[in-house]
């Protein structure tokens, strides 16, 4: 079956792959082909997974959620493995069925603290944004910061590519002869900044200049006192919270919300999952099955530990961020 899958991948006949056998086995085979992202077939495997999961979900509605659950857990696995391709795969699953997975982009974005995942997460946001921009518009301010200020030219390119997919325009002063490898329109190819697709939906122009993307570009509300964003009640300085395997720095508000932050600035996604687990009394399977907006609400703020203060912006995506989570069920 693996050789047949490769044949269909090379031909771009993703729907025919679905006819080869049981969906779970097909997805596992495709995942095994997705590790080496220097090869075009790996990217076609990633794209095909999104289509296969969509088709399988017509008969098994929870099929995709289980795949996403496993992928999110793989990101947390320090051993690595599939975690390296998980953001892109999750992005394709959401892209193919955005209404079913409308809460997933925010969970995926919470892993931006992990440097090795950022490029894949940004690519996923661009892919989702091309078909459902409303699901990823919350990333726009951060992507503009990356596009203008990041020292990594590849990340700057990916951020601008994602913004274009979401419908934003920009003018680029990047060197015209520099090309970045990206998977676009079924091909893994080198693309220059000038070749990026310019979209017309928002009409917003992003210009590159010194001092680009100041904090004024993002709504700002400074909090001199720590207060819950759900009920505005004062909350205490974060302390150690434990429940079963979960262990985070945070606290609880009188309204029932839990708040937590990652002091390392690199594992907020793990903090989010642990926080949900604590709210579910240590039941990780239940925690991962929860849907944002339906089962819980979440708000992200910037936490300054030395001043014990909250605000809504930061000049870096790696700054200490605090999450407030409130269960609705």
Predicted local distance difference test score (pLDDT) of residue 307:
62
Domain identity same for 1 and 95: yes
Contact 165, 127 (CB under 8 A): yes
Domain identity same for 96 and 1: yes
Domain identity same for 210 and 247: no
In this structure, what are the phi and psi dihedrals at residue 326, rounded to the nearest 5 degrees?
-130, 120
Q: List the structure tokens of 261.
A: 């932050």
Per-residue exposure over 28-43, b if at least 16 CB sit within 10 Å of its own CB, e if not: ebbbebbeebeeebbb
Domain that residue 151 falls in: 132-214
Is residue 56, in this structure, part of any structural domain at all? yes
Q: List the structure tokens of 286.
A: 């239940």
Is residue 141, in this structure, part of any structural domain at all? yes
Q: List the structure tokens of 17.
A: 């792959």
Among the candidates 181, 214, 247, a domain finishes at 214
Among the candidates 52, 81, 101, a domain finishes at 101
Predicted local distance difference test score (pLDDT) of residue 214:
31
Is residue 222, in this structure, part of any structural domain at all? no
Is residue 233, in this structure, part of any structural domain at all? no
Radius of gyration of the chain from Cα atoms? 20
pTM for this entry: 0.66
Is residue 122, in this structure, part of any structural domain at all? no
Is residue 57, in this structure, part of any structural domain at all? yes
Among the candidates 45, 80, 101, a domain finishes at 101
Is residue 230, in this structure, part of any structural domain at all? no
Domain identity same for 13 and 95: yes
Domain identity same for 144 and 208: yes
Is residue 168, in this structure, part of any structural domain at all? yes
* Structural domains counted in the chain: 3
Predicted local distance difference test score (pLDDT) of residue 49:
96
Ranges of the chain with pLDDT below 70: 76-83, 169-172, 176, 197-225, 244-246, 265-266, 306-307, 311-319
Specify the 3-state DSSP secondary structure of 122.
helix
Domain identity same for 136 and 206: yes
Alpha-helical runs (H) found in 19-152: 23-32, 40-57, 63-76, 86-96, 104-109, 118-131, 133-136, 140-149
Domain identity same for 284 and 202: no
User: CA–CA separation, 312 vs 326, rounded Å?
Assistant: 18
Nearest to 47 by CA among 79, 3, 14, 77: 14
């Amino acid at each position: 079956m693996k050789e047949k899958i490769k044949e269909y991948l090379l031909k771009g006949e993703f729907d025919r792959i679905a006819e080869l056998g049981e969906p779970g086995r097909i997805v596992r085979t495709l995942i095994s082909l997705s590790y080496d992202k220097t090869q075009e077939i790996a990217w076609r495997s990633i794209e095909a997974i999104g289509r296969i999961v969509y088709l399988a979900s017509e008969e098994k509605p929870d099929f995709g959620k289980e795949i996403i659950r496993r992928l999110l857990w793989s990101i947390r696995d320090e051993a690595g493995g599939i975690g390296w391709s998980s953001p892109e795969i999750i992005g394709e699953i959401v892209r193919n069925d955005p209404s079913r997975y409308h809460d997933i982009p925010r969970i995926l974005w919470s892993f931006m603290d992990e440097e090795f995942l950022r490029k894949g997460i940004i690519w996923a946001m661009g892919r989702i944004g091309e078909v459902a921009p409303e699901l990823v518009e919350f990333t726009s301010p951060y992507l503009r910061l990356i596009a203008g200020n990041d020292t990594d030219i590849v990340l700057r390119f990916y951020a601008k590519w994602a913004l274009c997919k979401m419908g934003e325009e920009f003018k680029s002063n990047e060197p015209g002869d520099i090309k970045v490898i990206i998977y676009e329109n079924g091909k893994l190819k080198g693309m220059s900044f000038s070749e990026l697709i310019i979209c017309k939906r928002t009409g917003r122009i992003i210009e590159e200049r010194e001092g680009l993307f100041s904090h004024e570009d993002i709504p700002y509300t400074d909090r001199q006192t720590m207060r819950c964003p759900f009920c505005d009640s004062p909350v205490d300085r974060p302390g150690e919270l434990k429940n079963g395997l979960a262990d985070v720095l945070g606290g609880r508000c009188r309204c029932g919300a839990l708040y937590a932050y990652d002091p390392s600035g690199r594992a907020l996604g793990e903090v989010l999952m642990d926080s949900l687990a604590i709210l579910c009394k240590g039941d990780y399977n239940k925690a991962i099955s929860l849907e944002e907006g339906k089962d819980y609400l979440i708000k992200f703020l910037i936490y300054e530990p030395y001043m014990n203060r909250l605000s809504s912006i930061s000049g870096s995506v790696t700054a200490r961020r605090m999450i407030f989570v409130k269960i609705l069920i």
